Amino acid sequence: MKAFPAFALLSAALLAGCSRPGTPSQASPTFDEVLATRRSVRSYDASKSISEAEVRELLTAVQDAPSWANTQPTRYYVALSAEKRAALLGLIGANRQRVAEAPVLIVSAFERGLSGFFNGEPTDATGDLWGAHDNGLSDSYLVLKARAMGFDTLIMGLRDADGIRALFDIPASQTVMAVIALGYRASEPQRPDRKPLDAVVKID
């Protein structure tokens, strides 16, 4: 399975068409509509599939996400075949039942020693945490672009990193961060409550 170096243009993610296969084209969603309808989906419609072309469209858009000095440390490994999906499902613990019907599973990883480094040395005490930071930025572009295309996602941290590394032949220089389910929601998920703005924001 090929690795997709990742990063994306947010405007493209938000302006991309939101029509689903087999349905008439719809107007592109607005930024606010993408934010308002994106959910962590834990139940997928088994009758709907996603093509390799659609996965490539998604991850091509994701390639423009920002990163430290444009080092682009994120790498994606895509389980699209039934065989690869089944193998990866066995490596994600309790989430397996939640995403068993998702047609695509994507492993998110990052190359260490790029973000936050200069001439091979860390530029501040954060070190490789900048790689994890940039990987998170890339994943946020992925879930927003996916929603703009009419898809749904779930980012999962429970995973057998060593098993995943062996399954995709991921180099030891990369850190496996998450597995992301990609598909169509089987039902409408509720919006969980958010903390009051003043609980998370300080403006002086």
Question: Alpha-carbon distance 137 to 146, whole Å?
Answer: 14
Q: Which of 164, 183, 189 is closest to 175 using CA atoms?
A: 164
Question: Alpha-carbon distance 46 to 112, whole Å?
Answer: 36
Domain boundaries 3-19+28-190, corresponding CATH code: 3.40.109.10
Question: Alpha-carbon distance 80 to 192, whole Å?
Answer: 30
pLDDT for 64? 93
Q: What is the pLDDT of residues 188-197, one digit of tens each?
A: 999 999 999 9
**pLDDT > 70 in the chain, percent:** 87
Q: Which residues contact 81 (CB under 8 A, 6 or more apart)?
A: none
Q: Tens digit of pLDDT per residue, the chain (204 long)?
A: 545 544 333 333 333 444 443 343 468 899 999 999 999 999 999 999 999 999 999 999 999 999 999 999 999 999 999 999 999 999 999 999 999 999 999 999 999 999 999 999 999 999 999 999 999 999 999 999 999 999 999 999 999 999 999 999 999 999 999 999 999 999 999 999 999 999 999 999
pLDDT for 27? 81
The tokens for 139 are 């994943």
pLDDT for 3? 53
> Which residue type occupies 38?
R
Residue extents of the structural domains in the chain = 3-19+28-190
Q: Which of 75, 39, 98 is closest to 177 using CA atoms?
A: 75
HSE (CB half, 13 Å, CA atoms) of 197?
A: 1
This prediction has a pTM of 0.86
Please spell the DSSP secondary structure of 69-90, one letter per residue: GG---EEEEEE-SHHHHHHHHT
Three-state DSSP class for residue 12: helix
